Amino acid sequence: CCTFWLWCLSVRTPRYWPIGVLTGISYSYMVAAWGGYIFVLNMIGVHVAILVAIGRFNSGVHRAYSLFFVIGTAGAMQIPVVGWTPLRSLEQMGPLLVFLGIQVLEFCDIMRRKRKMGDAEFVKFRIQAIMAVGGILVAAACCLYPTGYFGPLSSRIRGLFVKHTKTGNPLVDSVAEHQPANAGMYASYLNLPLDYALMGGLVSLWKRNNAFYFLALYGFIAQHFSGKMSRLVLICGPVVAVACAIWCGWLLDQLLEPFLLLLG
């Protein structure tokens, strides 16, 4: 939760990017404490990819994610059981590709300012840069893949995308926690805040900032994957709590505003 909070804070506005340092440090600590660090890393990576896709990418997002990724990955690699996994595991290739991709985008923006490119020239230059880097990455992957450099997906990750009887791991296939969640489990574990989470999401629509898109993404991913594996209901807790808090805060503001106006 601390890592997610610091990340949302670091992309609040372009001038908040230095908080990316704290995000990376928090992520490093979390890697040492919880095996679910891959979920956190991919959540932030997908969030940045979405910000790029919807046109909300800027120098602040670039700096915040670069600091987070470099510091977080360097810290994670100091954990003996992790080692070089962040640079070899297929489960973590997505965030790495996002990191490389935004370096290309930032480089293009810098060259645009230096050369004072027009719109058409800039689009052409960006396409050429993306194709060049993409070609290099594809060539590198083709060379490394036959050597066994890239690690396979774990049984638990495969279990999220294929039927539980096809993971090949008897432990994963048989444990009840790896069965799909049901409505009763959501109500039991998330309790009262679940009733107000939707209202909080609707209130957030009024002010769609970078944190809103992260909240929406988190909610979608948590709901989707917890529906495939009941043990993942636990990752719904933070987003449900935040959405409920947004609703309660908005409601409290509406109740207190008339009294504050009377007090002048």
Q: Tell me: the pLDDT tens digits for 138-147?
A: 999 999 888 8
CA atoms within 13 A on the CB side of 254: 7
Q: What is the pTM of this model?
A: 0.88
Amino acid present at 180: P
- State the pLDDT at residue 168: 60
Distance CA 17, CA 137 (A): 28
Give the CA distances from residue 52 to residues 47, 55, 56, 116, 210, in Å, rounded to whole numbers and listed in that order: 9, 5, 6, 22, 11
Cα–Cα distance, 248 to 237 (Å, whole number): 16
User: Is residue 247 scored above 90 in pLDDT?
Assistant: yes
- What is the C-alpha to C-alpha distance for residues 85 and 98, in angstroms, rounded to an integer? 17
Q: Structural domain boundaries of the chain?
A: 1-152, 162-264
* Class of residue 115 by CB neighbours under 10 A (exposed 0-12, middle 13-18, buried 19+): exposed
| pLDDT (0 to 100) of residue 44 | 96
**Interval 134-180: pLDDT, tens:** 999 999 999 988 888 887 777 667 666 665 545 566 655 555 556 77
> What SS3 state is found at 89?
strand
